[in-house]
Amino acid sequence: MNRALKLVRQTEPLYATVRAARDMYSYAIGARRGSFSQHGEDTFIHERFGRKKGGFYVDVGASHPFRLSNTFLLYKNGWRGVTVEPIPLLGRLHKRWRPQDSLVQKAIGLSPGKVCFQEMLPSVLSTLDAKTAQSYVSEGKAQLLRSYEIDVITLDQLFATYVGRRTIDLLSIDVEGLDADTITTFRLDDIRPITICIEANHCDDRCKILTYFERRKYRLVAELGCNLIAESALP
């Protein structure tokens, strides 16, 4: 079955048909549930903001524009923001489904430059971290679809170049294996998102992130699935 899926993914006309059908099905399911994220992160965050119409997010590792997305429900409720997604196909889908967002087709890493990107099947598990990719393959969670060089910038560079100094209601981070290192090297003293949602798949990463949050005056308000959600404790 995995081999068949990979063949479909690499056959563009066939994959385009399969993808379009799957997208419409996924959209219908999400709309019916009132949530497009994996564990209800989007509805939780929207409720924390009083279901307000309009806000600003930065979605790092946005992946598909609405499937397993922490920000698409917010987009549907008038929020706008910056989405970061390096996979070309997913970038095209973002431009189609979320034309009022600003798409950055780069990856976020610990230092700028060119890095080998591991595009996985499923694409949501794609990563810059070769060890994480190998782990997914050996555990049967994913297949390596292809590897290629992409542009990488730091989180600080993303904010300086594409976001600027403005109120950020939500920072969502999902960068498969590099989440803890990404957030703990970010200057939260200069830029303070009101809410941060970040993936923490391992105990060590969770401890590292929570320690950083405590030091930077963020309080944990929820753990939904593998995601930690924290809010600024400063007035």
Collapsing DSSP to helix, strand or coil, 180 comes out as helix
- The CATH fold assigned to 35-232 is Rossmann fold (3.40.50)
What is the number of helices (H) and of strands (E) in the chain? 9, 10
Model pLDDT, residue 12: 59
Residue 1 banded pLDDT, cuts 50, 70, 90 = very low
Model pLDDT, residue 160: 93
Model pLDDT, residue 106: 94
Q: Give the mean pLDDT of the chain.
A: 90
d(CA 155, CA 162): 10
Model pLDDT, residue 4: 59
Query: Maximum CA pair distance of the chain?
Result: 54
Q: 94-144 pLDDT, tens per residue? A: 999 999 999 999 999 889 999 899 888 888 888 888 888 899 989 988 888
Q: Considering only 27-31, 47-51, 133-137, 185-189, which range has the smallest mean pLDDT?
A: 185-189
- Of residues 21 and 68, more confidence is placed in 68
What is the CB neighbour count within 10 angstroms for residue 71? 28
Residue 15 banded pLDDT, cuts 50, 70, 90 = low
Model pLDDT, residue 144: 87
Q: Judge if pTM exceeds 0.85.
A: yes
Q: Hey, what amino acid is at 212?
A: Y
Residue 13 banded pLDDT, cuts 50, 70, 90 = low
Residue 153 banded pLDDT, cuts 50, 70, 90 = very high
- Per 3-state DSSP, the chain is made up of helix, strand and coil in percentages (nearest 5) of 40, 25, 35
Model pLDDT, residue 2: 56
**Domain chopping of the chain, boundaries:** 35-232
Q: Which residue has the tokens 């498969």?
A: 176
Q: Is the pLDDT of residue 33 over 90?
A: yes
Model pLDDT, residue 9: 58
**Residues of the chain with pLDDT > 70: what percent?**
93
Q: Tell me the average pLDDT across 80-87.
A: 96
Q: Considering only 8-17, 43-52, 161-170, which range has the smallest mean pLDDT?
A: 8-17
Collapsing DSSP to helix, strand or coil, 80 comes out as strand
